[in-house]
């Protein structure tokens, strides 16, 4: 192998994502995979049938880079129906290949070299590398367990004249926090005062539990023109492998994000867009039921983990719950603990350190509860047995 010049340092020095790593390990060892966040047993048959129909009858060529008109209209109706947002589907809606691509296109389009970008840690693992690849400077503000309240003083101090944007994820992965109305108002006030943008990752917008409600930051006074709102059909329909997402934003903001998108993926398979468009209107009762189903599964897993000796932290939304494992060890870091849980208990989880820029161990791990009842029962059984054997 010749001694080649080094690649972009952001990617050269980076490992493989923790989700891939833990899923591979679970696959190799036969562990139950409560690591990577994908649902099981919840895929709606009606959407699969619609996809099969379109696969036979539809077109299989490039759709418009902005998305099919059917899906753009359906997204605009969805945003109006649930959040009261009045969007022009031609100017304010763009289809992407999943929320991940929507995030990348938005961050690459908005960040100029040297811009400061605020993230709330722990945060989803794609944010920081993309900010860095765009030569943005990450300013992280940490939330603390168990309630993960917004640290208002630290947040206020993080805003400077160089702040370009903040990334907000509500409901949040990995902590399951749903930001409260007064926290959103506080954020909106800071963003407007500092003349910044907000990139709002709302892929879990319908997965909110316990009677709480999600409120998009974009709906707050003064926020429409400076907010990018990101959605994902993968999460709405429990079909994460479809990778269909969207960005909604004011026309001036969306037009620049579209310039980045055109050279990332350009477009998304048309038959998938058709099935998602159909589902947003026609499968509405189905996806409205999902949060009730998932809340019961959260409770089942939380109860089992508590029985085994974990300290389970409250979670109000998303697919995830986090747990502290201090009762089992005070020396093992969270990555090592997850690896030993796979090897010894046969259950995979994700170390929370993967959601921090410095990767420091947290004493906390994340479990995905969007699985079938038998899978959760078996996982709990394995963990309780393992805990009793210590
Ligand atoms: N944002 C968050 C917070 C996520 O958890 C995920 C992953 N599921 C995504 C974005 C990416 O969504 P998609 O699978 O639609 O790319
Ligand atoms: N969002 C998923 C999670 O948090 C993972 C998606 C991925 O593997 N890229 O588990």
Residues in the chain, pLDDT under 70: none
Q: What are the C-alpha distances in Å from 66 to residues 92, 203, 269, 360?
A: 10, 19, 12, 40
Write the DSSP symbol of residue 330.
S
> Which residues line the pocket of ligand 2, CB cutoff 6 A?
17, 19, 36-37, 173
How much is the pLDDT for 35? 98
pLDDT in tens, 249-307: 999 999 999 999 999 999 999 999 999 999 999 998 888 899 999 999 999 999 999 99
Q: What region, left, alpha or beta, does residue 85 occupy, with left being phi > 0 and alpha being psi -120 to 50 degrees?
A: beta
How much is the pLDDT for 359? 87
How much is the pLDDT for 92? 98
Q: Which CATH number fits domain 9-43+288-389: 3.30.750.24, 3.90.730.10, 3.40.50.1100, 3.90.1150.10?
A: 3.90.1150.10
Q: Whose CA is nearest to atom 12 of ligand 1?
A: 99
Write the DSSP symbol of residue 317.
B
Q: At what angle do helices 284-308 and 270-282 cross, to 10 degrees?
A: 90
DSSP states of 105-174 as a string? HHHHHHPPTT-EEEEEES--TTHHHHHHHTT-EEEEEE--TTT----HHHHHHH--TTEEEEEEESSPTT
* Structure tokens given for 190: 């800071």
* Structure tokens given for 3: 């001694």
How much is the pLDDT for 361? 87
Taking the alpha carbons of 79, 81, 83, 87 in that order, is the dihedral positive or negative? positive
Q: What is the pTM of this model?
A: 0.97
Ligand 1 centroid distance, CA of 140 (Å) = 20
Per domain, the residue ranges of the chain are 9-43+288-389, 59-286
pLDDT in tens, 132-149: 999 999 999 999 999 999
Residue 350 belongs to what H/E stretch?
A: strand 350-351
Instruction: Report the b/e string of 346-374 with b at 16+ CB within 10 A.
Output: bbbbbbbbbbbbeeeebbbbbbbbbbeee
Judged by DSSP in three states, 197 sits in strand
Instruction: Name the residue of 18, 37, 130 whose CB sits within 8 Å of the most ligand 2 atoms, as the mutation to test its pocket.
Output: 37
> Which residues line the pocket of ligand 1, CB cutoff 6 A?
37, 98-100, 124, 169, 173, 201, 203, 232, 234, 240, 243, 245
How much is the pLDDT for 208? 98
How much is the pLDDT for 287? 85
CATH topology of domain 59-286: 3.40.640
């Amino acid at each position: 192998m010749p001694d080649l010049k080094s690649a972009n340092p952001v990617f050269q020095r980076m490992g493989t994502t923790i989700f891939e790593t833990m899923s591979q390990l679970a696959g190799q060892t036969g562990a139950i995979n409560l690591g990577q966040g994908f649902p099981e047993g919840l895929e709606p048959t009606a959407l699969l049938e619609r996809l099969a129909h379109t696969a036979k009858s539809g077109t299989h060529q490039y759709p418009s880079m902005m998305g099919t008109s059917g899906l753009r209209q359906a997204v605009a109706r969805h945003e109006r129906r649930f959040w009261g947002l009045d969007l022009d589907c031609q100017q304010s809606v763009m289809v992407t290949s999943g929320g991940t691509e929507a995030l990348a296109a938005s961050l690459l389009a908005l960040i100029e070299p040297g811009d400061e970008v605020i993230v709330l840690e722990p945060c989803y693992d794609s944010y920081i590398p993309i900010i860095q690849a765009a030569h943005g400077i990450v300013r992280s503000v940490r939330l603390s367990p168990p309630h993960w309240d917004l640290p208002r003083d630290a947040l206020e101090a993080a805003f400077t004249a160089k702040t370009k944007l903040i990334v907000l994820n509500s409901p949040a992965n990995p902590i399951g926090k749903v930001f409260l109305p007064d926290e959103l108002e506080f954020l909106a006030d800071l963003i407007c005062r500092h003349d910044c943008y907000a990139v709002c990752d709302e892929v879990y917008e319908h997965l909110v539990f316990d009677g709480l409600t999600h409120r998009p930051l974009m709906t707050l006074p003064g926020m429409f023109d400076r907010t990018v709102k990101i959605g994902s059909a993968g999460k709405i329909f429990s079909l994460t492998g479809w990778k269909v997402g969207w960005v909604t934003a004011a026309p001036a903001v969306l037009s620049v994000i579209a310039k980045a998108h055109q050279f990332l993926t350009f477009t998304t398979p048309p038959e998938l867009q058709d099935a998602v468009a159909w589902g947003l209107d026609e499968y509405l009762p189905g996806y409205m039921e999902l949060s009730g189903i998932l809340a019961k599964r959260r409770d089942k897993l939380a109860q089992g983990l508590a029985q085994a000796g974990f300290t389970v932290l409250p979670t109000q939304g998303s697919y995830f719950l986090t747990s502290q494992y201090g009762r089992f060890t005070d020396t093992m870091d969270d990555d090592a603990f997850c690896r030993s849980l796979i090897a010894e208990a046969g259950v995979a989880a994700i170390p929370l350190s993967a959601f921090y820029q410095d990767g420091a161990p947290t004493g906390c791990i994340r479990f995905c509860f969007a699985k079938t009842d038998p899978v959760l029962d078996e996982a709990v059984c394995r963990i309780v047995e393992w805990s009793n054997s210590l």
